[in-house]
Structure 1
Amino acid sequence: MPTTVVLVHGAFADSASFAPVTRLLLDEGLDVRVPPVANRSLLGDAAALRRFVEQVGGQVLLVGHSYGGAVITQAGDADAVVGLVYLAGYALVEGESLGQLQGGFPDSDLAANLVYQQYPLPDGTEGTDVSVRVDAFPEVFAAGVDPATAQVLAVGQRPLSALAFGEAATVAAWRTKPGWGLVSAADRTINPDVERFGYQRAGLEVVEVAGAPHLVMHQNPQAVVDLIRTALAAVGG
């Protein structure tokens, strides 16, 4: 049975953030899935992804973008997972949150362009949603992407709960699974040094894409597909 490529989107995005990569992978005849991520809780999102992976059937290569990198770090120890690919993402260690990893480096341009809104929780209290200012999204999150496409993505972004930003990982799946990391060298959402540090610490095979923005899957989908192909070849997919 061929390896299924599961693409995991991050904060301020949804499955459409992978659309160009998804199209290329499908055109190559690969088995691809792009599940939704709730962006509510790191542990909850990872548990949902893990359950999804367990029901795919056969072995799975997890590909996580941005916050999706943290999610695959937590969920990637599932038996079916044979490898991890990080795209401009967070490779956490046990006991570390996104905020802690990012806090060790200078802020990116994202920090000054966030919007905070309240949403109701099941227990009657309120949580905080974090999103990117719609007018700043094309430049900060999607630089180099077709402006019309960036506008559509900006108004349809999926916020990230502040809870997910502060919740610590309990698993670092890269300790037991082979991994690859793509650094978006011109990233204005995550400081590229955050990506480099996390990847080096995890012992990943690293590729840097010069001029790549955070949303590298739209700006340079072929670079993403090439890295996925490298990973698939290594895991026998």
Structure 2
Amino acid sequence: MHPFARSLVTFAAATAAAIALHAGEAAARTPAKPTIAFVHGAFADASGFGEVTSRLQDRGYTVVSPANPLRGPASDAAYVASALQPVKGPIVLVAHSYGGAVATPAAKLVGNVKALVYLNALALDAGESNFGIIERFPNRFGEALRTRPFPLPDGTEGTDFFVDPARFREFFAADVPARAVARMASAQRAVSLSAVQEPAGEPTWKTIPSWYLIGRQDEVISPAAQRFMAKRAGSRTVEINSSHASYISQPDRVTELILRAAR
């Protein structure tokens, strides 16, 4: 090979190596996007996060939405945590309603949760329960609740709560189109009495940064209760004019808050 050609090949190889090294260093300096994990609440399921999920996936985020058993915060948290164990890298854990009582302890079990996002959700302190918050900040939601028994493994009976389908839109999703609400009401998942009575453990919002979205027209968890919990947790808070189903009626605002946490 001609000496000049040999020099060009050597120069080209060195340049390619330098570019590859620079790209590797740049990649190392650029943190990977966190995984966004959703925890749904009572009387709902993970499909409600569909519009928010699409917006996040369009921005390159990985999203996981495990089913919440709705049997009790401790056991539900263990189940959700097991579903999140395969996730590598940071997680932003987003919870709606009763899902907040599950996400808070699940964050401790997972270990790589870097931010908590509460959407009209329970951010309980140690010893508190869902019922405890409702008693402290009462509203009319109890009017819409109905009960039914279900069998427990030991042969005894438990009690489930569900929302009267005829009143589902009034209390849960007043700002969601009627046809969509009818589907939600028919597919709602009940929560057990023991789950809403179970006291919470030491909260992870004391050590993990949190964000909170308050729905001013919420008829399930009163706005006053949400403001109280958000302030106590030191959450970065936004308020919007939404029902309890803020993640369905206002997916852009919810996505925006999640992106803030993700950054």
TM range (shorter): over 0.9
Give 1:106 deviation, angstroms: 2.2
Hey, what does 2:261 align to over in structure 1? Answer: 231
Hey, what does 1:166 align to over in structure 2? Answer: 197
Counterpart-to-counterpart distance in 2, 1:230 and 1:43: 28
Aligned residues: 231
Hey, what does 1:196 align to over in structure 2? Answer: 227
Give 1:23 deviation, angstroms: 1.6
Q: Is 1:123–2:154 an aligned residue pair?
A: yes
Hey, what does 2:11 align to over in structure 1? Answer: none
Give 1:53 deviation, angstroms: 2.0
1:29 is matched with which residue: 41, 55, 60? 60
Q: Is 1:220–2:250 an aligned residue pair?
A: yes
| Secondary structure of the corresponding residue to residue 166 of structure 2 | coil
Hey, what does 1:45 align to over in structure 2? Answer: 76
Does the 8 Å CA contact 2:171/2:220 hold for their aligned counterparts?
A: yes
Counterpart-to-counterpart distance in 2, 1:54 and 1:199: 27
Give 1:49 deviation, angstroms: 1.3
Give 1:119 deviation, angstroms: 0.4
Q: Is 1:7–2:7 an aligned residue pair?
A: no
Does the 8 Å CA contact 1:54/1:80 hold for their aligned counterparts?
A: no
Q: TM-score, normalised by structure 2?
A: 0.86
1:98 is matched with which residue: 130, 137, 140? 130
Structure (1 or 2) with the larger CA radius of gyration? 2
Give 1:105 deviation, angstroms: 1.2
1:157 is matched with which residue: 165, 181, 188? 188
Identity of aligned residues (%): 39
| Secondary structure of the corresponding residue to residue 136 of structure 1 | helix
The code of the aligned residue for 1:93 comes to: D
| Deviation digits for residues 163-194 of structure 1 (CA, Å, limit 9, x no counterpart) | 11000111301011000000001101111111
Runs of 4 or more, structure 1, over 4 Å off, are: none
Counterpart-to-counterpart distance in 2, 1:103 and 1:173: 23
Does the 8 Å CA contact 2:33/2:262 hold for their aligned counterparts?
A: no
Q: Is 1:137–2:165 an aligned residue pair?
A: no
Which runs of 5 or more residues in structure 1 are unaligned? Answer: none
Counterpart-to-counterpart distance in 1, 2:82 and 2:209: 21
Give the aligned CA root-mean-square deviation in angstroms.
1.0
Does the 8 Å CA contact 1:53/1:80 hold for their aligned counterparts?
A: no
Q: TM-score, normalised by structure 1?
A: 0.95
Which runs of 5 or more residues in structure 2 are unaligned? Answer: 1-31
Hey, what does 2:48 align to over in structure 1? Answer: 17
